């Protein structure tokens, strides 16, 4: 019977009498002896992400007003302060504002000028001051600018031996790629340093010292911990001295038999 059906269909196709076939009915789900089949959750839609490029306020509404009305109540138009380097999900844009979801899942509005699209960017820092070049050429060195140790930079693109980086408070700059450090530990300390410097500029040294303590606790051994300590006027943590071998006594030495 199957062979006859196949031959019939072939003859219709050769004779030009074929008709579009109807889609096959969906296969019935197989029975699960252990119970009903659980449906897979649909994947969450991908949303664009961005880095906070400078200190910015996360607000309830897309307005710089100090207070807004919600449900007949007047509330402060302030949710949180976001610092450079925090990665946020961009949920919506409206003229000069973007609605974002922060690292703690808070949703609010932030100025779009405080964001830089994260696609194609990577995080890095420098362990020592790095020279800045206006163009990817050694002859384009800029004697008036440099990237200070512990600065969080966002790498925009690479043109060996240079990388273009985004630096807080200034235009993009070119630095030698081998000056960049991309380790998670050093980059994390650089993020804390960015926040500590902001606190220090606003006469909140005690809070900045708490961030230093956090850096020492969480990222022991990172070179930038001592850089941050120096900026805050604190003594650096010296690396532990390796235990030396116990001195041995030479039985032939004069000291071996005691005082003569």
> Shortest CA distance to 83 belongs to which of 231, 193, 184?
193
Average pLDDT, the chain: 84
Residue scoring higher pLDDT (133 or 29): 133
Tokens of 28: 């019935």
- Collect all residues with Cβ–Cβ distance below 8 Å to 52 and sequence separation of at least 6: 82, 83, 84, 85, 86, 87, 88, 110, 114, 115
Share of the chain above pLDDT 90, in %: 69
Residue scoring higher pLDDT (14 or 90): 90
Q: What is the mean pLDDT of residues 185-207?
A: 97
Q: What is the mean pLDDT of residues 227-254?
A: 71
Taking a C-beta distance cutoff of 8 angstroms, is the pair 126, 118 a contact? Answer: no
| pLDDT at residue 258, as a whole number | 52
Per-residue pLDDT at 193 exceeds 60: yes
Q: Is 148 exposed, middle or buried (0-12, 13-18, 19+ CB in 10 A)?
A: middle
Share of the chain above pLDDT 70, in %: 75
Residue 14, Ramachandran bin (φ over 0: left; ψ between -120 and 50: alpha; else beta): alpha
Per-residue pLDDT at 110 exceeds 60: yes
Tokens of 40: 């897979």
Quick count: other Cβ atoms within 10 Å of Cβ 145? 14
| pLDDT at residue 168, as a whole number | 87
Per-residue pLDDT at 100 exceeds 80: yes
How confident is residue 171, by pLDDT bands cut at 50, 70 and 90? confident
d(CA 186, CA 218): 11
Q: Terminus-to-terminus CA distance in the chain, angstroms?
A: 118
pLDDT digits (tens, 9 = 90+) for 143-154: 999 999 999 999
| pLDDT at residue 255, as a whole number | 54
């Amino acid at each position: 019977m199957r062979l006859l059906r196949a031959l019939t269909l072939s003859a219709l196709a050769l004779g030009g009498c074929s008709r579009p076939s109807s889609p096959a009915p969906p296969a019935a789900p197989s029975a699960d002896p252990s119970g009903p089949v659980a449906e897979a959750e649909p994947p969450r839609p991908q949303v664009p992400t961005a880095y906070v490029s400078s200190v910015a306020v996360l607000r309830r509404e897309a307005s710089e007003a100090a207070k807004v009305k919600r449900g007949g109540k007047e509330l402060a138009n302030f949710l949180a302060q976001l610092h450079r380097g925090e990665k946020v999900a961009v949920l919506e844009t409206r003229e000069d504002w973007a609605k974002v979801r922060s690292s703690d899942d808070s949703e609010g509005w932030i100025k779009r000028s405080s964001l830089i699209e994260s696609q194609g960017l990577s995080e890095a820092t420098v362990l020592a001051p790095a020279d800045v070049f206006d163009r990817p050429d050694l002859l384009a060195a800029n004697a008036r600018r440099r990237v200070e140790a512990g600065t969080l930079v966002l790498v925009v693109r690479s043109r060996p031996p240079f990388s273009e980086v985004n630096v807080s408070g200034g235009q993009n700059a070119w630095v030698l790629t081998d000056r960049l450090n991309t380790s998670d530990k050093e980059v994390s300390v650089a993020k804390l340093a960015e926040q500590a410097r902001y606190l220090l500029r606003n006469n909140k040294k005690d809070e900045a010292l708490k961030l230093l303590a956090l850096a020492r606790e969480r990222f022991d051994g990172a070179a930038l911990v001592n850089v941050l300590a120096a900026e805050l006027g604190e003594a650096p943590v010296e690396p532990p001295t390796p235990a030396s071998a116990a001195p041995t006594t030479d039985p032939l030495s004069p000291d071996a038999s005691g005082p003569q």
